[in-house]
Chain A
C-alpha cells in the first residue's frame, strides 16, 4: 500500500479524497501525505543521469503496483491482468515495431555516418558528435529552445488554463466563443504573421503604442536580437488554443460533488480553486507540461514564418537548426547526431518532470487496490 501513498500530492484536500473514501478506499489524512512527501524527497536524491531519468519515469509508471515488481511467481489474477495489458496495448506494440522502431534506430546509426541522403553513407564514428561539441550554433540553438520552451510553456500553461476557466462558464453562445478562441491554432500562418508584424512593429505597433502612453519607448521586437525571443514567446501564448481545449476537457471531469463538499465546509472560490480544481486537473496540467516542452523544443514553424532564425540567430531554435542541417546542408548524419542529443535533453527534462510529478500530480484513478 505504501507505494500508493508516495504518489499522493500534498495538495489534494480532504474533499478530493472523499470521493474515494465513500466507496471504500482508505481515507488519507493530509498530514500523512505530508510525511510521505518529505520521505520521497530524500528517497529520490540520486543524480540525474539519463539512466536515472529513465528509471524515474519507469518508477513513476510502475509504482502504482502494490505488489513487488519482477517477482517470478505471479498470482493467477495478476497473470491474467498482465495478459490483458499486453492485449490492450498490442496494437501499439505492433505499430511501434512496424513504423517507429526502425526509423528511430536508423537515425541513431545514421548519426555515426556522413549521410547526404543522396549517396550511400560512410561510417565516420564519433565525428558528428565531436563536431557538435565544437559547434557554437549547437549551444545557441539549445539555449534558444530552452529559453523559448520555458517561457512559452510556463506562461502558456497559465494563460491557457485561465482561458479554459473563462470558457468553462455556462453562458449563452459559449461554443461560439470557444471556436473563436481556438481560431489562432488553425488559421493560416501568413495571417498570423501579418497580425504580429503589426502588433510588434517598432514604430507604430500596438504594443509600443501602448507603452508610449506610459512614456516607455518600446524596443524593435523582431529586429533587435535581445527582444526577438520574448516577442516569440508572446506570440506563442496567443496560440494557446490547443492546450486550452485539453484543459476544457479536463474541467469537465472535475466532479461537482467535490465543490459541493468544499462549500459545505465553507470554502470560498479561491480555496476551491486551489484545493479542488487544481489537484483534480493536475494530470492534465502535467500532460500539457510534458507535451508542451517536447513540442516547443522541437518546433520551429512559428519561427520559420516570422524570423527564420534571425536576427543574429536569436531565434535559431533547435528544431530549425536540425531542419537546416538536414535539408539545406544535406548533412543528415550531423542532423541525426543533433537530434539524438535533443532526445537526451528532452528525456532528462521529462524525467525531471515525472520525478517532480510525485509531489503535485494527483491521480484519482490510480491502479492501486
Chain B
C-alpha cells in the first residue's frame, strides 16, 4: 500500500537504480491500483447520495420501497421546481448566502489573526488564554445555547441575522486551533530571516504565514461554509420570521410531525448541496504544495 502512496515522491535518484521499462510498468501498475481502489470506495461513498437522487425523482407512493432502491427508476423532475417553490426558498437562499459568506470571511480573518498570535508570538498568559479558548469547545452547546439566547435577546438582536453572523468575526476556537497547528508547521527560520530584514509581525503574517497556509485556510473556508450552510440550531433558536429563515431551517419544514415529503425534501436537499459541492470541488485548487516551502528546502 505504502509503495503506491508514496508514488509521487519517488525521486530520480531512486528511479535511476531501476531499469527504465520496469519503472514504467511499476508506475502503470500503481496507477491502475490507485484507480481501482478509488473507484471501489467511491461506490460505497456515493450510494446515499444516489438514494437521495433517486428519491427526489420519485412520486410519493414509490418513495419507500423495501429494500430501498439506490438508482432512479422514475424521473419526475417536477419535484425540483415544486419543492423549491412550496416555500420561499429563494429568500432562504439569499439569507443562507449572507450568513454563510459573512461567516466564511469573518472566520478567515479573525481566526487566522488569532491563530498567528498563539502560534508565533510569546507572551505572559498565553497558556491560560489558550486553555480558555479550548474550554469554549469543551462545554456542550445544549447548556449554553439558552443563556446565549438570553444574551442576544438583551442586545435586542433576536429575530435578526446578527446572532448568526457576529460571533464569526471574533474567532472560532475549532478554526483557531486548526490554523495554529498549521502555522506551527511552518519553520520559524522564515520569520527570523524576515525580522532581521526589519519586517513587522503583521508583514510576516501576510507575506509568509498566509501564503504558505493556503490549504489550511481553504480547509477553514470549507468547514465554515458547510457548517453555516447546514447549521440548524442557531437559526432555529434566533429566527422567528419566515423571511429570515435559512435553507437548513426551510428544509426541515418538510419534516412534519406525522408526515414527511421525502421526495421534495430530497429534491431541495440536492439543490442546496450543489453550492457545497461546488465550493469543495473548487477549493481543491488550493490544496497544492506550498511552492515557497518546497523552494526553500534542501539548501
Are A287's CB and B181's CB within 8 A? yes
**Closest chain A residue to B113, Cβ basis:** A88
Q: Which 9 pairs from chain A and chain B are nearest by CB?
A: A95-B170, A257-B297, A88-B117, A58-B127, A23-B189, A249-B215, A85-B123, A92-B171, A257-B298
Sample of 16 A–B contacts (CB below 8 Å): A58-B130, A89-B118, A104-B144, A166-B5, A168-B5, A180-B42, A183-B46, A249-B219, A252-B215, A253-B182, A255-B293, A257-B297, A273-B2, A273-B5, A284-B182, A366-B184
CA distance A57 to B138 in the complex (A): 14
Task: Decide if the interface of chain B is mainly helix, strand, loop or mixed.
Answer: helix
A261 at interface by CB-CB < 8 Å = yes
Which range holds the interface residue count of chain B?
35 or more
Summed over the interface, the residue pairs from A and B with CB atoms below 8 Å come to a total of: 361
Are A291's CB and B188's CB within 8 A? no
Residues in A with CB closer than 8 Å to B130 are 57-58, 61
Residues of B within 8 A of A (CB): 1-11, 13-14, 31, 34-35, 37-38, 41-42, 44-49, 51-52, 55, 67-68, 110, 113-114, 116-124, 126-148, 150-151, 166-167, 169-171, 174, 176-178, 181-193, 201, 205, 212-216, 218-219, 222-223, 226, 230, 262, 265-266, 269, 273, 276-277, 280-281, 284, 287-290, 293-294, 296-299
Residues in A with CB closer than 8 Å to B281 are 175-176, 179
Are A20's CB and B187's CB within 8 A? yes
Are A89's CB and B114's CB within 8 A? yes
- In A296-311, the 8 Å CB interface with B consists of 298
- In A278-332, the 8 Å CB interface with B consists of 280, 283-284, 286-287, 290-291, 294, 298, 318-319, 322-323, 326-327, 332
CA distance A246 to B221 in the complex (A): 12
Residues in A with CB closer than 8 Å to B183 are 365
CA distance A88 to B144 in the complex (A): 27
CA distance A185 to B48 in the complex (A): 11
Contact of A259 among B11, B150, B151 (CB under 8 A): B11
Are B143's CB and A110's CB within 8 A? yes
A231 at interface by CB-CB < 8 Å = no
- Chain A contact residue count (CB 8 A cutoff): 129
Residues in B with CB closer than 8 Å to A81 are 121-123, 201
10 more CB-based (< 8 A) A-B contacts, given A181-B41, A252-B214: A25-B189, A84-B121, A87-B117, A88-B121, A91-B169, A106-B144, A249-B219, A250-B185, A252-B290, A342-B140
Residues in B with CB closer than 8 Å to A166 are 5, 34, 37-38, 41
Are A294's CB and B137's CB within 8 A? yes
**Closest chain B residue to A285, Cβ basis:** B181
Are B188's CB and A368's CB within 8 A? yes
Are A107's CB and B139's CB within 8 A? yes
Residues in B with CB closer than 8 Å to A24 are 189, 192
CA distance A277 to B185 in the complex (A): 12
Given known pairs A343-B138, A364-B186, the reply for A54 and B131 (CB within 8 Å) is yes
A171 at interface by CB-CB < 8 Å = yes
CA distance A168 to B288 in the complex (A): 10
CA distance A294 to B140 in the complex (A): 9
Q: What's the least CB distance linking B39 to chain A, in Å? A: 9
CA distance A363 to B171 in the complex (A): 23
CA distance A259 to B214 in the complex (A): 21
Given known pairs A177-B42, A252-B290, the reply for A85 and B122 (CB within 8 Å) is yes
Are B146's CB and A92's CB within 8 A? no
Are A110's CB and B147's CB within 8 A? yes
CA distance A367 to B281 in the complex (A): 35
Are A181's CB and B116's CB within 8 A? no
Residues in A with CB closer than 8 Å to B47 are 195
Contact of B123 among A82, A249, A270, A294 (CB under 8 A): A82
